[in-house]
Chains A and B, each alone.
Chain A
Amino acid sequence: MQYFLAGGGGLLSFETGFGIWVLISTLLFLWAMNKWLVPPIMKALKEREATIKTSLESAEKALARAEEVSRDNEKALKEAEIAAQKIRKQAIEEAELLRTERIEKSKAEADKLLTDARHVIEQEKKRALNELRNEVAQLAVEGASIILKSELDSAKNRELVNSYIEDLTKSN
């Protein structure tokens, strides 16, 4: 029963000497922990946490940057595509224009050639006609002179023939 005595050496008593021992050893130990043992651990843990935090942050930043870059790339690609399309379109249009121009030009050239040819032909024709007329007139004069020699004055005949030929050309 003595163990339960609340006064001396019992279970529910506070033993002063023992308490002092516990207090001294615990305080000494706490002091050592506070001074030497725990701070380096705290520091190391904090350091590591800081490292992890910064690396996480930098990774996030890098990710954001990569995303931005890829977005930029995509944008650039799209722009380039649009530009290329534009250029192609322009080229096609230019080519079309060129083609039509060339066609027109060639047409015009052909026309010109045609008109030139026609002119030449006309001139040739005129000349030929003139020549022919002269020739015919000559011939007729010669013929008429022959006739006139035979029957009439050649001057009067030539007049006659000329008027006749004039009529001929008019009717022509």
Chain B
Amino acid sequence: MSKLMRRAAAILLFLLAYSPDVIAADATDATDVNNDQESVIDVMGKVSNHDYFELPWTKVYLPRIFLSEGEWHVYKSTKSAVDSGEFEVSEAGLVRTNGAEITLDMSISSHLIYVWMGLLLTFIITFLVGNRYKSGVGRTTEPKGILQNMFEVLFVFIRDDIAKEFIPHNKYEKFVPYLFTIFMAITFMNLFGLLPWAAAATANLTVTATLAMITFVLTQVNASKDHWRHVFVFPGVPAWTRIILTPVEVLGLFTKPFSLAIRLFANMLSGKIMIVCILGLIFVFTDLFGAYVGVGSGVFWVLLTTALYFLKVLVALIQAYVFTLLSAVFIGMAAEEHHHEHDETSVAHAQNVQT
């Protein structure tokens, strides 16, 4: 019974944290509904890239770096950029006051910080465990400690179940570092998206597209001759079908990384949007039926959000796994060498007959 009471109190506290917003939303919406709607339920703001890094208690503004008219402009934050008089805020972000075009926007953004954090965490863990291996623990004996054990489970999983299974046997070792890195980095990036104030860097198309591009380049660089032969010249089909098949195959080369990028991006984005929208329903209900109905139905929405969070953890891990798996599959498919022994032996046989 006391457990139940405690749970109810916890939910009530959670709801109370929202109540000032509820009242504020009521007040602003009463005055001008059209103007300020996005500030209450800022769905896209939760998932998009910002010029500040959000922490539960504060916002840290990040440096802005621009390349404009062949010159680098570096500022401590957006505000200092505006204060310098060179830039001004517009609908599509910062623009030059003199109307010149910004060639390259190399600003450090919040998603970049999360990318770095993901990579850094992977680096730290790998470094720590690597040192343990170097010092001799686990070299001939079993691994010791939680970190090394967990690491080894993941590492051996990537190596045996992903790399070894899908990439030809003589080549797989080269790709284990890459596969392991993207798996760990994507997992960490995805999991950062679970923090209420943080965002998943993988919910940004740029990040996933870049990762997919690396996979694409790796695939093509390591492709065997047979791969190219199967793309452009089809052994064993009539010549005229090449007119249809070659464009399809060439298109197929590019749809693979494209779907890889879109899959990860859409999965991570939809999870965050779904949670924000469901919590946003509290405010929608408040708008429609008043504060009491909004807060009352909040119990249900919060429970639903909790369930969704479990799903999101699962999705975060599965999508990291899927990205790694598909990378391995693509690399393996391209690196595979088919043996056309049948053709060659028949040719050799014909030559023998002639001589």
In the bound complex, how far is the Cα of B177 from the Cα of A39, in angstroms?
8
A34 touches B93 (CB 8 A): no
Residues of B within 8 A of A20 (CB): 104, 106
Q: How many residues of A contact B (CB 8 A)?
A: 39
CB-nearest residue of chain A to B201: A22
One of B123-131, B235-243, B246-254, B305-313 contacting the partner: B123-131
A37 touches B206 (CB 8 A): no
Residues of A within 8 A of B116 (CB): 25
One of A41-49, A134-142, A146-154 contacting the partner: A41-49
Residues of A within 8 A of B91 (CB): 2
Specify which of A19, A39, A45 is in contact with B206 (CB 8 Å cutoff): A19
One of B132-140, B190-198, B324-332, B334-342 contacting the partner: B132-140
Is B41 an interface residue, CB under 8 A from the partner?
no
In the bound complex, how far is the Cα of B44 from the Cα of A12, in angstroms?
12
CB-nearest residue of chain A to B102: A17
B108 touches A21 (CB 8 A): yes
Residues of B within 8 A of A172 (CB): none
A33 touches B209 (CB 8 A): no
Is A115 an interface residue, CB under 8 A from the partner?
no
B123 touches A37 (CB 8 A): yes
Chain B nearest CB: distance from A36 CB in Å? 8
In the bound complex, how far is the Cα of B139 from the Cα of A14, in angstroms?
44
Is A164 an interface residue, CB under 8 A from the partner?
no
A3 touches B119 (CB 8 A): no
Is B178 an interface residue, CB under 8 A from the partner?
yes
Is B112 an interface residue, CB under 8 A from the partner?
yes
Residues of A within 8 A of B205 (CB): 11-14
Chain A nearest CB: distance from B213 CB in Å? 7
- B90-103 vs A, CB cutoff 8 Å, 1 = contact: the mask equals 01110000000000
Is B281 an interface residue, CB under 8 A from the partner?
no
Specify which of B133, B209, B269 is in contact with A41 (CB 8 Å cutoff): B133
Is A51 an interface residue, CB under 8 A from the partner?
yes
Report 11 cross-chain contacts, Cβ distance below 8 Å, ordered by A residue: A3-B44, A4-B44, A8-B92, A11-B269, A22-B207, A25-B112, A26-B210, A33-B181, A41-B130, A41-B133, A41-B155
Query: Which A residues are within 8 Å of any B CB, using their own CB?
Result: 2-5, 8-9, 11-23, 25-27, 29-30, 32-34, 36-42, 44-45, 47-48, 51
Query: Which B residues are within 8 Å of any A CB, using their own CB?
Result: 44, 47-49, 65, 67, 91-93, 104-109, 111-112, 115-116, 119, 122-123, 126-127, 129-130, 133-134, 138-141, 152, 155-156, 159, 173, 176-178, 180-181, 185, 204-207, 209-211, 213-214, 269
Smallest CB-CB A-B distances: 9 pairs? A44-B133, A38-B177, A3-B44, A17-B106, A17-B105, A22-B210, A37-B126, A33-B177, A8-B92
